[in-house]
Amino acid sequence: MSIEQMAKDFTQAVAEDRAEDYQAYWADDIVSLEPNDGPMSRCEGREALQEKHAWWNNNAEVHSASADGPYVFGDQFAVNYEMDVTMDGERNQMKEIGLYTVRDGKIAEERFLYGQQ
């Protein structure tokens, strides 16, 4: 499968919140990076990333979300995310870019870049 098709399928699965489908694209040794300090700023491996997603699902009330893209270049693709979410009793509009690096047909790294609020 081409990276263009993989990125398109992955982005659609994320937009439709089909976790089993988008998680199938993760490499077993995937690395997830967030630009903040804390226990979820760097997760290594499929199990750690599943725990990160479980933490998010238990702590965030998502009112709406969108995923725009993908934008492919070489072995990477980017997705623009926007969310209306309540965390810790505070409702926020979030914007971020997910930058994904593909190796051997799987996502080996995801790196998130946050927009200014």
Average pLDDT over residues 3-16: 96
SS3 content of the chain, % helix, strand, coil (to 5): 25, 50, 20
Contact 77, 100 (CB under 8 A): yes
State the Cα–Cα distance between residues 22 and 39, nearest whole angstrom. Answer: 23
The owner of tokens 């226990």 is 39
CB 10 within 8 A of CB 22: yes
pLDDT digits (tens, 9 = 90+) for 10-67: 999 999 999 999 999 999 999 999 998 888 899 999 999 999 999 999 999 999 999 9
pLDDT (tens digit per residue) in 57-105:
999 999 999 999 999 999 999 999 999 999 999 999 999 999 999 999 9
